């Protein structure tokens, strides 16, 4: 009986030990899992400097001290498990709390330092070269005057569309106006002004490759140059908000050009000012400039802004219409009222004023 009791006691002890070990293992596993989770996310980047020759364990301590990881010890174990840490590169990094461990490893392996990680630059559709220069100055610290000078004077660009820019057109306010495609870019901090400009034009090259195969044929049948098409696209971009109206406004522009009528597009007058006016007055419409389509028939010397791909498509594939006039509805819809005759146009203007 005593031996049986002793055996039962031993079994109880063994079971208890197993339970304790399992419980400890579970607790350790939960702890490890928690320590390997990303830190709470933040929009503010944290700088982490890794000196040449720094080992992975010290790097882990630096990351923990910076608040990028929860546990240097667990990160070191994770590196051993993933067979990582031997290719980390020295340099100054910017990381945001909330980044995953794998993303940290990838960043350090590739040496995506502050210099290499880059800065995003978003150029909205319809921006002018001057507005682009100001935004580059804000985000890169590059003098806007330097950017504008490069636009006017530099010539070593590789983009295909650069060949379409008029060689010596004294009437152009900005030589590359309309050719810097509106897009979100990500560049390294040490990118040069020439590289910025060239990459914006290279992006236009890429977007043109997305057009239907006959787009150049369509221009040729009209007897139209690429520069003229881009000028019309920029007018559409600055005049129209609704996607479905762009080919329609393009049709109006072509109709007026064919009849020798002045385009009378407000956006061409607005282009003459440093900042757009809320309202144009009669005296503004009398400003002497080849860009003023109230005074001069035909197209302005060049684009007045950077057009989107949809405006470029509209300029190439306009709607076949008899409309010669349009006016904003002023009802909050951002749409337009179209007319074939001046009388109809006057009625639309009256209706628009009532909406206002």
- Domain assignments of the chain as residue spans, ordered by start: 46-117, 118-210, 216-321
Quote the pTM value: 0.69
326, 259 contact by CB (below 8 A): no
Tens-binned pLDDT, residue by residue, of the chain (356 aa): 455 555 565 555 544 555 554 555 556 667 778 888 988 877 788 889 999 999 999 999 999 999 999 999 999 999 999 999 999 999 889 888 888 899 899 899 988 887 666 788 999 999 999 999 999 998 888 889 999 999 998 888 999 999 999 876 668 889 999 999 999 998 887 889 999 999 999 999 999 999 999 999 999 999 999 999 999 999 999 999 999 999 999 999 999 999 999 999 999 999 999 888 888 899 999 999 999 999 999 999 999 999 999 999 999 999 999 999 999 998 888 899 999 999 999 999 998 888 77
pLDDT of residue 272: 93
Cα gap 110→85, rounded to integer Å:
12
Contacts (Cβ under 8 Å, ≥6 apart) of 75: 36, 60, 63, 64, 69, 101
DSSP string, 306-334: ---HHHHHHHHS-------EEEE--SSS-
Other CB atoms within 10 A of residue 302 CB: 24
pLDDT of residue 117: 65
DSSP string, 50-83: E-TT--HHHHHHHHHHTTS-S-HHHHHHHHHHHT
The enclosing H or E element of 338 equals strand 336-339
Does the domain at 46-117 match CATH 3.40.50.10540? Answer given as: no
What values do phi and psi take at 338, rounded to 5? Answer: -110, 150
How far, in Å, are 156, 159, 175, 198 from residue 162 at the CA level?
A: 10, 6, 10, 9
219, 175 contact by CB (below 8 A): no
DSSP count for the chain of H helices, then E strands: 15, 6
pLDDT of residue 27: 63
């Amino acid at each position: 009986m005593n031996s049986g009791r002793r055996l039962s006691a031993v079994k109880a002890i063994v079971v208890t030990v197993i339970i304790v070990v399992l419980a400890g293992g579970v607790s350790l596993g939960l702890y490890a899992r928690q320590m390997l989770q990303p830190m709470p996310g933040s929009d503010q980047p944290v700088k982490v400097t890794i000196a040449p020759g720094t080992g992975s364990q010290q790097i882990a301590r630096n990351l923990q001290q910076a608040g990028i990881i929860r546990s240097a010890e667990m990160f070191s174990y994770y590196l051993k498990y993933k067979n990582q840490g031997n290719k980390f590169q020295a340099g100054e990094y910017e990381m945001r709390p909330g980044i995953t461990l794998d993303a940290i490893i990838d960043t350090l392996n590739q040496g995506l330092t502050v210099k290499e990680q880059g800065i995003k630059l978003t150029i909205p559709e319809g921006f002018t070269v001057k507005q682009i220069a100001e935004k580059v100055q804000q985000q890169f610290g590059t003098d806007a005057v330097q950017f504008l000078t490069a636009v006017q004077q530099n010539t070593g660009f590789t983009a295909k569309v650069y060949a379409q820019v008029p060689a010596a057109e004294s009437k152009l306010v900005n030589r590359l106006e309309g050719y810097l495609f509106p897009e979100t870019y990500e560049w390294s901090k040490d990118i040069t002004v020439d590289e910025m400009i060239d990459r914006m034009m290279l992006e236009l090259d890429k977007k043109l490759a997305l057009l239907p195969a006959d787009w150049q044929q369509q221009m040729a049948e009209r007897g139209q140059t690429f520069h003229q098409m881009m000028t019309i696209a920029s007018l559409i971009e600055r005049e129209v908000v609704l996607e479905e109206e762009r080919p329609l406004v393009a049709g109006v522009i072509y109709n007026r050009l064919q009849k020798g009528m002045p385009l009378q597009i407000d956006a061409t007058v607005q282009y003459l000012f440093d900042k757009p006016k809320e309202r144009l007055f009669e005296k503004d419409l009398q400003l002497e400039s080849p860009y003023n389509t109230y005074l001069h028939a035909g197209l302005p010397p060049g684009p007045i802004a950077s057009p989107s791909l949809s405006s470029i498509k509209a300029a190439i594939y306009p709607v076949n219409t008899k409309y010669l006039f349009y006016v904003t509805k002023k009802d909050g819809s951002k749409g337009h009222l179209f007319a074939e005759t001046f009388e109809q146009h006057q009625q639309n203007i009256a209706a628009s004023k009532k909406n206002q």
